[in-house]
Amino acid sequence: MDVVRTVMRRELAAYFATPLAYVFIVIFLALAGAFTFFIGGFFERGQADLESFFVFHPWLYLFLVPAVAMRLWAEERRTGTIELLLTLPASTFEIVLGKFLAAWIFTGIALALTFPFWIMVNYLGDPDNGVILASYLGSWAIAGAFIAIGACASALTKNQVIAFVLGAAICFLFLMSGVELVLAAFRPWAPPVVVDIVASFSLLTHFSELMKGVVSAATAVYLATLVGCCLLVNTLIVELEKAA
Amino acid sequence: MQEMVRLERLTKRFGDVRAVEEVSFSVGRGEVLGFLGPNGAGKSTTMRMLTGYLLPTSGTAKVMGFDVVDEPREVKKHIGYLPEGAPLYADMSPLGLLRFVGGMRGLEGKELERKIARAIELTSLEEVAHRPIDTLSKGFRRRVGLAQAILHDPPVLVLDEPTDGLDPNQKHEVRKLIKTMSAEKAIIISTHILEEVDAVCDRAVIIARGRVVADATPAELERRAPNHNAVRITIDRERVQEAVDALRMLNTVRDVQRLEEVDGVASLLVLPTNGAEIGAAVSQILNERGIRVERFAVERGRLDEVFRALTAEAA
């Protein structure tokens, strides 16, 4: 575990060593605010809840989170530091996990900095803080899933732009797998059970449950499995490069 | 001598490209092995397999008895590795990087700080310890790479071109450092600078096109040079022909070559048969003829000629 913590600390520090961290946080907060008030109609709704705030998170994450994840491996490959990293006494999985945790904590910091919304809504009314907590956890979990996906994409290339585009595209598929746009591609040929499985992959469906304050075992298991699988795939990609 | 590193028929193919073909050698405690070869010969690939960055296609490599495929973590614990080009995290300071590497190697607290201080001192990094690595010169970066390799005082050091990009003074310092550490360690350095082999290596392994073409001490390699033990003499131009005729009569002389003529004096290169010592015979026969020798030098044979001959054959 020491190795995981060491990798995580270095990665987290690397975010704040460049303007990337600050740019990301500022853009995330600005967009979250703009969406909540202008598109979500926070005041017009006249309800003391944060639904108009959380509902846009998956869409914000869709292009912001792959930008956080894209450098995790691609940068190491481009600069050659991956050789330094992989010849230190650690297993590939420990390094994969450390990198994932760093990026996830980083998005957690950005998310935590939205606390003024929570203060505001509590000042204006009497919201259900349990629902808000569940929504925060759900939002952070979606970010985690996107990071795990983005990290895999990053491990495939030394080009951060490719890592970004690939990561965003895969995240989009997972986000949207519940809507007709994606399901229509399966319906003509796949049996209904497959279509249902694909639909159940939808992060959007699970997230809307969480936003209602429903934390179900199915959602928790699904998200944990998704992240776990991505980390394993990430490990495999890195290991395969060694054997190439 | 305790054997610390052993490579046996180590092979790496990238698709159809045979990067390394059945490379075998071993390195013992107290030994500095020079790993030589032209660019693209497979030096870095071999070192990458030894340090666990690449998996071999076939063959085995063992470090302190641990197999690189079966027990990579143990292997990595016992190796200090400077990868080619000394890649480093540019956003960190040398101190930050050493703390990271130390943490990854399980060092902490006072022990970590003590080892960092030692590594910084040995590589003379004091003045830049707090500066971001991307602002450092090539020489400093290389030394940061060396510092992280020696940080945990490993029994085996694998250094891929440790003096590349250093100025002559820095090269001297690094070689001195390698020499100081060599008594207790097995050190493998790759280089294409042949003077380095003379300066620090006890043994040289030359590879070309992925295959080992020589494994010998620098002195043994020099003996293979075409002009090993050749005698270079400078004499009066008027008597060159006479001298050549006389020298050709010696049966230990293979050939006599005329070199350039400068200011009325001529130089001759007298090549021995099978590298025999001919200095005494040459000076005696010239004395007998009363030919005055201005300058007289016995050549050791140049490593770069041996290197060229060996690596060109394979190509």
Report pLDDT digits (tens) over A11-28. 999 999 888 889 999 999
Read off the pLDDT band of B79 (50, 70, 90): very high
- Distance (Å) from the alpha carbon of B307 to chain A's nearest alpha carbon: 29
Mutate to test the interface with B, among A1, A2, A4, A10 (most CBs of B within 10 A): A10
Enumerate the β-bridge partners of residue B35.
Answer: B190, B205
Q: What do you get for the CA distance between the two ends of chain B, in Å?
A: 34
Partner residue facing A10 (CB), from B84, B90, B100? B100
Kindly determine whether residue B48 and residue A6, on different chains, have CB atoms separated by under 8 Å. Answer: no
Instruction: Give B1 to chain A, closest Cα distance, Å.
Output: 27
pLDDT at A111 over 70: yes
CA distance B2 to B12: 27
Give the CA distances from residue B232 to residues A132, B258, B266, in Å, rounded to whole numbers and listed in that order. Answer: 91, 10, 11
Among B53, B84, B92, B108, the strongest candidate for a mutation testing the A interface, having the largest count of A CBs within 10 A, is B53
Q: Which of B74, B83, B90 sits opposite A83 (nearest CB)?
A: B83
Average pLDDT, chain A: 89
Per-residue burial over A140-157, b = 16 or more CB atoms within 10 Å of its CB, e = otherwise: bbbbbbbbbbbbbbbbbb
pLDDT band at B219 (very low <50, low <70, confident <90, very high): confident
DSSP 8-state secondary structure symbol assigned to residue B157: E
Residue B315 has pLDDT above 60, yes or no: no
* Of the candidate ranges B51-60, B81-90, B279-288, the one whose mean pLDDT is the lowest: B279-288
pLDDT value at A177 more than 70: yes
The tokens 């002009």 sit on which residue?
B227
- CB of A16 within 8 Å of a chain B CB? The answer is no
**pTM score of the predicted model:** 0.88
User: Which of A39-53, A101-115, A152-166, B170-184 shows the lowest mean pLDDT across its residues?
Assistant: A39-53
What share of chain A in percent tops pLDDT 70? 99
pLDDT tier, B262 (very low <50, low <70, confident <90, very high otherwise): confident
| Residue count (chain B) | 315
Q: Is A96 helix (H, G, I), strand (E, B) or coil?
A: helix
Q: How confident is the model at residue A218 (pLDDT cuts 50, 70, 90)?
A: confident
Q: Say yes or no to pLDDT of A181 above 80.
A: no
Choose the mutation target among A8, A77, A87, A97 for the interface with B, i.e. most B CBs under 10 Å.
Answer: A87
* Rounded Cα distance, B204 and B213, in Å: 11
Query: What pLDDT, on a 0 to 100 scale, did the predictor assign at position B313?
Result: 65
Are the beta carbons of B115 and B152 closer than 8 angstroms?
A: yes
Whether the predicted pLDDT of A47 surpasses 80: no
On the question of pLDDT at B273 being above 90, the answer is no
Position A222 pLDDT exceeds 80: yes
Query: Is A244's pLDDT higher than 80?
Result: no
Chain A nearest C-alpha distance from B79 (Å): 9
Would you call A86 and B52 a contact, using CB atoms and an 8 Å cutoff? yes
Asked if residues A172 and A87 have their Cβ atoms less than 8 Å apart, the reply is no
B88-102, B222-236, B300-314: which is most confident: B88-102
Contact A87 B106 (CB under 8 A): no
Query: Distance between CA atoms of B45 and B51, rounded to whole angstroms?
Result: 10
Q: Which residue of A has its CA nearest to B50?
A: A87
Residues B128-144: what's their mean pLDDT?
A: 93
For B169-210, the pLDDT digits (tens) are: 888 888 999 998 998 899 999 987 888 888 899 999 999 989
Q: Does pLDDT of A229 surpass 60?
A: yes
Q: Is the pLDDT of residue B4 over 70?
A: yes
Higher pLDDT, A188 or A179: A188
Contact A90 B73 (CB under 8 A): yes
* CB within 8 Å: A6 and B103: yes
- For the cut 70, the answer to whether the pLDDT of residue A48 exceeds it is no
Q: Is A244 on the interface with B (CB under 8 A)?
A: yes
Collect all residues of chain A within an 8 Å Cβ-Cβ radius of residue B103.
2-3, 5-6, 9
Q: Which residues of B touch A (CB under 8 A)?
A: 14, 48, 51-55, 73-74, 76-77, 79, 81, 83-85, 87-92, 96, 100-101, 103-106, 108, 148
Contact (Cβ atoms closer than 8 angstroms) between residue B83 and residue B190: no
Burial label, A38 (beta-carbon count in 10 A; 0-12, 13-18, 19+): exposed
User: In this structure, is the dihedral angle defined by the CA atoms of residues A153, A156, A161 and A162, taken in order, positive or negative?
Assistant: negative
| CB proximity A88 to B under 8 Å | yes
Strand duo B32-36 + B17-28: pairing:
unpaired
Please report the pLDDT score of residue B127 as a whole number. 94
B85 to A80: CB separation less than 8 angstroms, yes or no: yes
What is residue B101's predicted lDDT score, i.e. its pLDDT? Answer: 97
| Residue A86 touches partner B, C-beta closer than 8 Å | yes
The whole-number average pLDDT for the span B157-171 is 89
